[in-house]
Amino acid sequence: MKHYLSGYQTVDKQCLNELYFTSFFTQFNWAYSSYDENHGFIQKSFAFSLYLLIRYGDYFINAFPDLLLDIEESHYSPEDSIKHCYGSWVFERFAHYFGSAEIQDTANERGYLTETEVKATPLLKAFVHCIDKSRVIKGNFIQH
């Protein structure tokens, strides 16, 4: 960002991208358009989700097994509830929206969705390498 005596600022592309991503991670409520607002931990762990997508794929529940203890029983099991929210919030509303993941759905002969394949894009790999690791580890990247 460049400051001028007139009080106006110019924002370069890198600064604007950082502001855009940071605002989406910290200011926007990912649960706003769903009924699963008690799963805020998913949004707070976005950096780990990006890492898992690049490194392993879908191991979120294995990494945080105690998360299932906080989920109330409903018509979905706790595992299904977390998987649905995680898939919707992280992959569809975040990663796919920002071009950092490719999503390929597979349906059976009756048209029911049976499998979803998520792959990291080169953009995500480049973005993760650009993140200042000390900011993520110290928690300064996510402001509560």
In whole angstroms, give the CA distance from residue 60 to residue 83: 9
Tell me, what's the pLDDT at 74? Answer: 77
Name the DSSP class of 33: T
Domain boundaries, the chain: 2-137
Joined tokens for residue 84: 């649905």
pLDDT by residue (tens digit) across 19-34? 777 777 777 777 776 6
Q: Kindly indicate the confidence band of residue 141, based on its pLDDT and cuts at 50, 70 and 90.
A: very low
The answer to whether the pTM exceeds 0.75 is no
Tell me, what's the pLDDT at 95? Answer: 78
Joined tokens for residue 52: 């898992």
pLDDT by residue (tens digit) across 26-85? 777 777 766 655 666 777 777 777 777 667 665 666 766 776 777 777 787 877 777 777
Instruction: List Cβ<8 Å contacts ≥24 apart for 18-23.
Output: 21/98, 21/127, 22/141
Cβ-based neighbours of 5, under 8 Å, separated by 6 or more: none
Average pLDDT taken over every residue of the chain = 69
CB 124 within 8 A of CB 54: yes
